[in-house]
Amino acid sequence: MISINPFSVLSQSIPSIAMQLYVVVMIVLVFIGTLFDIMHKKNVKYFFQNIKKTKKQATRTIEVGEKTSVILKTVANEILTTSELGAGKRRIAHLLGMYGTIIFWITSVAMIFCYSSTASNTPPFIPLLWHLGAIMTCVGGYWFWFFLRVDVLAEAHPWYRLIQADLFVLSLVISATFALIWSFFQSMNVSGLDTLFLVLFGLSNVVLFGGVYWSKFAHMFYKPGAAIQKNLAEADGSRDNLPTPSDKPKQFGLGIKRESPKHY
Position 260 in a domain: no
Taking a C-beta distance cutoff of 8 angstroms, is the pair 230, 239 a contact?
Answer: yes
User: pLDDT 10s per residue in the chain (264 long)?
Assistant: 788 899 999 998 999 999 999 999 999 999 998 888 777 766 666 666 666 666 666 677 777 787 788 888 887 777 787 777 777 788 899 899 999 999 999 999 999 999 887 666 889 999 999 999 999 999 999 988 887 776 555 556 666 677 777 788 899 999 999 999 999 999 998 989 999 999 999 999 999 999 888 877 767 766 777 777 777 777 767 665 544 444 444 443 434 344 444 443
Other beta carbons less than 10 A from residue 223's beta carbon: 14
234 within a domain of the structure (yes/no): yes
In a domain, residue 226? The reply is yes
Q: Domain for residue 259, yes or no?
A: no
Residue 63 domain-assigned (yes or no): yes
Q: Does residue 228 lie within any of the structural domains? A: yes
Range of the domain at 188: 6-251
Distance of alpha carbon 20 from its chain centroid, rounded?
22
Count of domains forming the chain: 1
For the segment 203-243, what is each residue's pLDDT rounded down to a tens digit? 999 999 998 888 777 677 667 777 777 777 777 676 655 44
256 domain residue, yes or no: no
Per the CB < 8 A criterion, the answer to whether 73 and 84 are in contact is no
- 93-127 pLDDT, tens digit per residue, is 989 999 999 999 999 999 999 988 766 688 999 99
Q: Does residue 261 fall inside a structural domain?
A: no
- Give 128's contacts (C-beta < 8 A, 6+ positions apart): 2, 3
**∠ CA 216-222-228, rounded to 5°:** 145
